[in-house]
Amino acid sequence: MSTITEHGPDTAHAAEHADVVRRGYQAFNTGDIQALNELFDEKASWHTPGHSPIAGEHRGRAAVFAQFGRYGGETAGTFTAALQQVLAGDDGCVVGLHHNSGVRNGRRLEVDCCIEFEVRDGKIVRGREHFFDLYAWDAFWA
């Protein structure tokens, strides 16, 4: 995993923001709710695109975590987001590139994704998913 940062007086902030996102992926994939609680702001929002029943905007940490719970719950715990790269700027904008996989109702998911994060004061305040093959994502959750 690499981090691309802007050059300037606050480049340490980019590394800190990237670390928050890396720890978020680790906590998500291991089901570490305590770590997720520490990493996500109470008023965090999450957007999942598409037209499937899982698509939509989720506001507040509890709603975001309920969305995450669907990913694991509806795939009998097989859903993973394998982090490949983190790109971070000093302004709190971080992009995580990863590969999603899982099994649901006899169907297998294999799709690349990036999540556009906003990190403020060491916490994730916003996440917006972007799928490289939204049709495959929607078909999996239909």
Average pLDDT per run of 10 along the chain, which is 142 residues long? 45 91 97 96 98 96 96 96 95 96 97 97 97 97 96
CATH of the domain at 83: 3.10.450.50
Per the domain annotation, does 15 fall within a domain?
A: yes
Residue 5 within a domain: no
Question: Quick one: which of 87, 58, 88 has its CA closest to 71?
Answer: 58
Residue 45 lies in a domain: yes
Burial class (CB in 10 A: 0-12, 13-18, 19+), 62: exposed
pTM summary value: 0.89
Asked if residue 58 belongs to a domain, the reply is yes
Q: Is residue 28 part of a domain?
A: yes
Residue 50 lies in a domain: yes
State which residues form the domain around 20: 11-141
pLDDT of the residue at 10: 54
Classify residue 2: in a domain, yes or no. Answer: no
> Would 99 be classed as within a structural domain?
yes
Tell me, what's the pLDDT at 5?
A: 43
Number of domains in the chain: 1
Whole-number pLDDT of residue 90: 87
